[in-house]
Amino acid sequence: MKSVVILILFATMNTVIFNFSNESDISNWRVVNDTVMGGVSNADFQLNEAGNGEFTGYVSLENNGGFSSVQYAFNPLKVSPEDVIEIRVKGDGKTYQFRVKDRTSTRHSYISEFTTTGAWQTLRIPLKNMYPQFRGQRLRRPNFDKDQIEQITFLIGNGKAQDFKLLIESIAIAD
């Protein structure tokens, strides 16, 4: 009697939030600096020659400033706290925050910090590990426990004046 081995391969299915390429429309990405509260930090967001999102600028501490961010709002995307967000980035060795909002109207964001290495990194961020924060203060609320997201943000604000550069290749919900 011969035995038969059957292999079943399951492809992982990712829900793409944004995948950058030379043809990407980045008009809905918006830079928000500390200038909204009197600071003087500045930043730019564009596609580089390789087709990656390029978030660059200078964080200044003058006038009680200290942060720069780029955010992307989109139609509600159904998620579970058990889902994982996968981001592919290349940074400059500095620490950044990845943020999500369940609704664009929600005042606080859910935060995960990551430190870049200077090489391309694929980072996996469990939504349930993202903690609530508003204006730099951690809130006494549960970690992410929502059923949708409508906005993502990359932010730098390390308490010091510094140049920065973060390349972004893709953002997706990984299965």
pLDDT tens for each residue of 68-95: 999 999 999 999 999 999 999 999 999 9
Pick the CATH number of 15-174 from 3.40.50.2300, 3.30.590.20, 2.60.40.10, 2.60.120.430: 2.60.120.430
Predicted TM-score of the model (pTM) = 0.90
For the chain, the three-class secondary structure string (H helix, E strand, C coil) is CCCCCCCCCCCCCCEEEEECCCCCCCCCEEEEEHHHHCCCCEEEEEECCCCCEEEEEEECCHHHCCCEEEEEEEEEEECCCCCEEEEEEECCCCEEEEEEECCCCCCCEEEEEEECCCCEEEEEEEHHHCEEEECCEECCCCCCCCCEEEEEEEEECCCCCEEEEEEEEEEEEEC
pLDDT tens for each residue of 142-160: 999 999 999 999 999 999 9
